[in-house]
Amino acid sequence: MYEKEKSMIMRACLRMKEYRLISLTGGNISVKVDEDTYVVTPSGMLYEDMTLEDLCVVDHAGRLKEGSRKPTSDVAALIYIYDHMPKVRATIHTHQPYATAIGMNNDSLPACMVTLIDANHARINVAPWTRSQDIGMGKLAVDYAGDANTVIMKHHGVICFGEDLDEALYAAVYLEEAAKTYVMARIMGAVPELSDEQIAEEAAGWQSYGQ
């Protein structure tokens, strides 16, 4: 069951590798089907070895409904996000290096690049440290997301979300591109943030982007 959601997740897993957002078995992907059904990646498996059968269908308590693998250890945190952000239907968690590096010594990634606005809608806040594999990750993500599709988790990585998996993937990929560009620009000097007017103008244009 849930072949469509599983296929979407597998495709996104390969994209995460292609864009160098993950290493080995780090990170995870989840999709909400309904209030008691979530499809998530398994714990500690290489993405390139993963098949549709390895993906886990869990209930609201994180218990396995379908599949034979142990679900991602972040499942409680992810379900907390779904419970508290009703529009969110998909999440991507990575340890992508540039965005994570910014979280080490900044409180946020400023809204400094159009693609960051397009895919993430606002400046990206950095949430304080909490241990991994804990529901606290989900609580901090909800508290610190603000208007953005992403939260940077200090000393850990990022959680990106969207109304579908494509939106979460765009958030993660464009975040890393913007974070890398921001780091390079900072080496050359101060980086100005886009004004509220520029952000609104850019956001309006993005509505008609694509096919």
Provide the binding-site residues for Zn ion, judged by CB under 5 A. 132, 157
Give CA–CA dist 158/201, Å, rounded: 27
Pair 94, 22: CB distance under 8 Å:
yes
Please name which of 40, 33, 77, 74 lies closest in space to residue 55, comparing C-alpha atoms.
40
Least separation, in Å, of the C-beta of 177 and Zn ion?
Answer: 20
Cβ nearer to Zn ion, comparing 77 with 194: 77
Least separation, in Å, of the C-beta of 82 and Zn ion?
Answer: 18
The first and second tokens of residue 158, run together, are 């990022």
Cβ nearer to Zn ion, comparing 75 with 199: 75
Cβ nearer to Zn ion, comparing 145 with 199: 145
Cβ nearer to Zn ion, comparing 2 with 82: 82
Cβ nearer to Zn ion, comparing 41 with 120: 41
Instruction: Collect all residues with Cβ–Cβ distance below 8 Å to 39 and sequence separation of at least 6.
Output: 2, 5, 6, 9, 30, 31, 33, 55, 56, 57
Least separation, in Å, of the C-beta of 133 and Zn ion?
Answer: 8
Least separation, in Å, of the C-beta of 179 and Zn ion?
Answer: 17
Least separation, in Å, of the C-beta of 28 and Zn ion?
Answer: 7
